[in-house]
Structure 1
Amino acid sequence: MNTDPRSASELAILYESQIKGKVVLTTGVSPGGIGAAFVAGIARAQPTLLILAGRNIAKVQQTADAVSATGVKVRMLELDLVSLAAVRSAADKVNSWDDVPHIDVLVNNAGVMAIDWEPSPEGYDSQLAANHLGPFLFTNLIMGKLLESPAPRVVNVTSDGHRLSPFRFDDYNFRDGEFYNKWLSYGQSKTANMLMAVSLAEKLGSKKHKLSAFSVQPGLVTTNLGAHLKLFGEDDSDMRSMRDVDRFMGNAIGWSGFDGVVACTPDVGSNTYVYAAFDPEITAHNGAYLISCRIADPWIDTVKPWATSSVEAERLWMLSEKLVGQQFSY
């Protein structure tokens, strides 16, 4: 739950001097979503360029039109994170933009939640591909542009759902779907988002590169991300299957449910995006997992050790390189 009531728009005023003049690339910017609220919120602070990326270019166009109306320069990018070939094509396009010599902030916001089994074009769990492998490859392929920034940042959007599963190194693909569980898959992918931020901070957070990376939990937000799920009403099968996983994992929420948890708007849900991307002091905590515009506290928040471990992060980095078929030596 996001307990900070400030909106992304309000934080953009607070961080106006940090936002002004920046080039920001955000994935997953469909209207009504958190990504769209984030770019709309920071537009008023006069960034130099907002690059809006998404699989459905018609939806990206809608958000681009709304942001352009503020007078901010916008560029669109078609990006299908499920397909590694499509990711490479999108990265090639970004790298070909000679008039965009650097990118200051990359927000890996796009993702899916608890979808049914479907193999990606390369044969991987589509949820893992969309939520981790695609962003991992895209981030690293455009790293040259990021490192041209004097103080680059990468923000990975994760979830409290990382509690549902550590990364399943021995069976990340669920025996090619034979033993698939949509919630275990979701949990594993959200854990991966956090571990990737840890790795980026450790590999590129030196004085030479000065890259900062964070993972962000936006809270329960009213968007269409879970519109396909059966969570409430007479047929709450998806809610019950998530509860079963929570109970098996020993998570208290498996018995307490979501009592007292209040959903927030996308404008409030994206406030921690703004904090992670522009707060001048949070860089002292490179690699941190952020909630409600603060560092998550394992005493009061759900912070599973499997998602913050440097050892697990390095294991995942090496596996991810293998799965995407390319090494990135930093």
Structure 2
Amino acid sequence: MALSWSYDDMPGQTGRTVVITGAGSGLGLVLADRLARRGASVIMAVRDVAKGERARSGLTGDLEVRQVDLADLDSVRRFADGMRADRRRIDVLVNNAGIGGQTRELTPQGHESVFATNHLGAFALTGLLLDLFRPDHDPRVVAVGSNLYRRVKVATDFEDLRADRHFSPGAAYVKSKLANILFGAELDRRLRRAGSPVRSFLSHPGMASTPMHDSARTFAQRAMVTIGGALFSRPVEQAALPLAFAATDPAARTGVFLGFAARKKDIRVHFDALVPPADDLALAARLWRISEEATGVRYLGEPLPLQDRRERL
């Protein structure tokens, strides 16, 4: 299934509050701009406040910059505490922020930084903000993954949080994006089990021309970005469309991957079924347990027994 969709099709967002991580540039900035134009109050959750304020100054609408470093769990807790202290309620959380890394680096909590930023920070932030969602405003969480998981097979040794056994920049990124998908799908299953009105959507931009490409350093990486960009990459304004669709449109569905096909000329939003290992229920439950232990953020209880979960899907 695929739908033709543009920003002109976005429903009005007046009265809705949206938190977007990584909103200082790239996909997050485009999404913040488009949502604000449609009337949403947008909280731009960024690591660099000065950069975020410069980005915000070029936009119109109700936009607020708040600091959060998803690589640092203490910063994630401060962000959530600040939202709660200010009595902020939210309707949509877009877990967009993501990094790539050329070298193995550790966070203040001792976790490999790419996985920590792209997955653990999003897992913790979602759990810490979950009670701030308004139940009657079509509450949504949007995970931003990558279709690379279908083409690049990576180890699922999520227990190796420090990447002590092996670190490869490309594999670390794909592994973190696979974790985003597993988490987003498992989140929706647990929300349904709990009877929550919050829904969890999975989205991806295809290959997008974003600042993340600037991290390519080796000749092979630069060549891949250049060639891949020429063949598959979309302008960031266009690449953010599936994220906006997942965040706002009544036709969006959970349990599928909302994004573009590989062909650049096909700008429809596709509803793609998850394929292994992203559809592995046991792996998703294992990742959830690992994430709770790593972050200290526990929510939505235990999963259903595996057979019961399959029967409900």
Q: TM-score, normalised by structure 2?
A: 0.84
Select which of 1, 10, 14 maps to 1:15.
10
Q: Which residue of 2 aligns with 1:287?
A: 255
User: In 1, are the aligned partners of 2:186 and 2:284 still within 8 Å (CA)?
Assistant: yes
User: In 2, are the aligned partners of 1:38 and 1:270 still within 8 Å (CA)?
Assistant: yes
State the alpha-carbon separation in 2 of the partners of residues 329 and 5 from structure 1.
Answer: 35
Tell whether 2:272 aligns with 1:296: yes
Secondary structure of the residue aligned to 1:318 is: helix
User: In 2, are the aligned partners of 1:161 and 1:186 still within 8 Å (CA)?
Assistant: no
Worse-matched range after superposition: 314-323 or 259-268? 259-268
Q: Which residue of 2 aligns with 1:87?
A: 76
State the alpha-carbon separation in 2 of the partners of residues 150 and 228 from structure 1.
Answer: 38
The CA deviation string for residues 235-264 of structure 1, in whole angstroms up to 9 with x for no partner, is 225767x9xxxxxxxxxxxxxx84973321
CA RMSD of aligned residues (A): 2.4
Gaps of 5+ in 2: 261-268, 302-313
The code of the aligned residue for 1:38 comes to L
User: In 2, are the aligned partners of 1:288 and 1:295 still within 8 Å (CA)?
Assistant: yes
TM-superposed CA distance for 1:139, in Å, is 0.9
Q: How many residues align?
A: 289
Change (3 A) 1:63 1:149: farther
Q: Which residue of 2 aligns with 1:252?
A: none
The code of the aligned residue for 1:198 comes to A
Select which of 248, 264, 284 maps to 1:313.
284
Work out which structure has the larger RCO, using CA pairs closer than 8 Å and 6 or more positions apart in sequence.
1
State the alpha-carbon separation in 1 of the partners of residues 159 and 168 from structure 2.
Answer: 15
Q: Which residue of 2 aligns with 1:51?
A: 43
Tell whether 2:228 aligns with 1:230: no
User: In 1, are the aligned partners of 2:101 and 2:215 still within 8 Å (CA)?
Assistant: no
User: In 2, are the aligned partners of 1:103 and 1:148 still within 8 Å (CA)?
Assistant: no
State the alpha-carbon separation in 2 of the partners of residues 24 and 203 from structure 1.
Answer: 22
User: In 1, are the aligned partners of 2:3 and 2:270 still within 8 Å (CA)?
Assistant: no
State the alpha-carbon separation in 1 of the partners of residues 172 and 188 from structure 2.
Answer: 25
TM-superposed CA distance for 1:185, in Å, is 1.1
Change (3 A) 1:238 1:119: farther
State the alpha-carbon separation in 2 of the partners of residues 111 and 63 from structure 1.
Answer: 18
Which runs of structure 2 are paired with 1:239-258 in the superposition (5 Å)?
258=228
User: In 2, are the aligned partners of 1:104 and 1:146 still within 8 Å (CA)?
Assistant: yes
The CA deviation string for residues 154-212 of structure 1, in whole angstroms up to 9 with x for no partner, is 1111112324325323534322xx52111221111001100111111001135831211
Secondary structure of the residue aligned to 2:232 is: coil
Q: TM-score, normalised by structure 1?
A: 0.80
State the alpha-carbon separation in 2 of the partners of residues 207 and 90 from structure 1.
Answer: 25
State the alpha-carbon separation in 1 of the partners of residues 198 and 80 from structure 2.
Answer: 19
Select which of 110, 113, 126 maps to 2:113.
126
- Percent sequence identity is 27
